[in-house]
Amino acid sequence: MLLAIDVGNTNTKFAVHDGAGWRAQWRASTDSSRTADEYAPWLAQLMELGGFSFAEIKACIISTVVPQALFNLRNLSRRYVGAEPMVVGEAGVQLGIEVRIDKPSEAGADRLVNAVGAFVEYGGPAIVIDSGTATTFDIVAADGAFEGGIIMPGINLSLQALHDAAARLPRVEIRDPGRVIGKDTVSAMQSGIYWGSIEMIEGLCRRIRAEYGKPMQTIATGGVAAIFEGAFPAIDHFDQDLTSRGLLEIFKRNGGVL
C-alpha cells in the first residue's frame, strides 16, 4: 500500500492506496511542530478502523507547501512505514510534465500535483481550481504541461480578514443564503462570500478561456469546492481526490510499485 501525504497551509491530507483503489483518506490541521511519534498513533487508530495497519504500508510520497513540516513527515515514513519517502520537488523525483512558466522553481508542489492528476483523469486543456487557504486557477495544456495561472485569497481567508478588520462583523458559515440581498449582517456576509465567489469563478474562467483561445474543461478541488457543487455551470467536474490521484501518478512515474 502507498501512503500519500499532501501538506497544505491549513490542512494535511493522508490517503492510502492499495493498488486497486483508495482505501481511506483523512484530514488533519497542518501543524509543522507535530512529530512523527505524535502522528503515528493517530494514524494507526484510523487505519485500524479501516481494517488495515501500518505493517501493510510499503511506500510513501509527500507533497508540501509548508517546508518546515517535511522533517517530521519524512521521519514518519522512515520509522513507521520503513521506507524513504518520495518528496515532490526534490531532485530525482520527476513529474513527467513540462512546467512552462518564467520561473519553474516558484510553482507550488500542490499546483503541479493537481496538474498531473487533472491531466491523467480528464486530459487537457483544462482549468484546475483549488479552493484552500488560497484559491488557485491553474492551466493544464493539451499535452499535460503546467502553463501558469492565478493565485488569490481563499474564501475562508477572506472571511477571516473581514472578521479581524471589522469589529462588528462576526464569523459566519459559508453557505447559500437563499437570496442575493441580505436582510441582516450575517446573511449579507454570506451572500457576499457565496455569490461573490461564484461570480469571481465564472468571470475568471471566462477570461482565461478567452485569453487561451481554446475550449477548456474546468475541474474544481479543495476543501471548500463542494459548497459550490451544482450551483453554477462554470465547473465541469468536482473532484476531491485530484491531489491524491496526482501523487499516485507521480509515484508510478518514478518507478514506484504497489
pLDDT in tens, the chain (258 residues): 999 999 988 889 999 999 999 999 999 999 999 999 999 999 999 999 999 999 999 999 999 999 999 999 999 999 999 999 999 988 889 999 999 999 998 888 899 999 999 999 999 999 999 988 889 999 999 999 999 999 998 888 888 888 888 878 888 888 888 899 999 988 998 898 889 988 999 999 999 999 999 999 999 998 777 777 777 788 899 998 999 999 999 999 999 888
Q: Are 158 and 190 in contact (CB under 8 A)?
A: no
Q: Which amino acid is at 72?
A: N
Q: What are phi and psi of 165, to 5 degrees?
A: -90, -20
**Bridge partner residues of 221 (DSSP):** 130
50, three cell numbers: 479501516
Is residue 198 classed exposed, middle or buried when 0-12, 13-18 and 19+ CB atoms within 10 A define those classes? Answer: middle
Cα–Cα distance measured from residue 19 to residue 208, given in angstroms and rounded to the nearest whole number? 36
Catalytic annotation, residues: 110
Q: Are 121 and 245 in contact (CB under 8 A)?
A: yes
For the chain, the first-to-last Cα distance in angstroms comes to 6
pLDDT of residue 140: 98
Domains of the chain plus CATH, in order, are: 2-87 (3.30.420.40), 105-243 (3.30.420.40)
- What contacts 25, CB < 8 A, 6 or more positions away? 13, 14, 15, 16, 241, 244
Q: Are 73 and 85 in contact (CB under 8 A)?
A: yes
- Taking CA atoms, 257 is separated from 6, 8, 11, 18, 238, in Å, by 19, 26, 27, 11, 28
Read off the pTM. Answer: 0.88
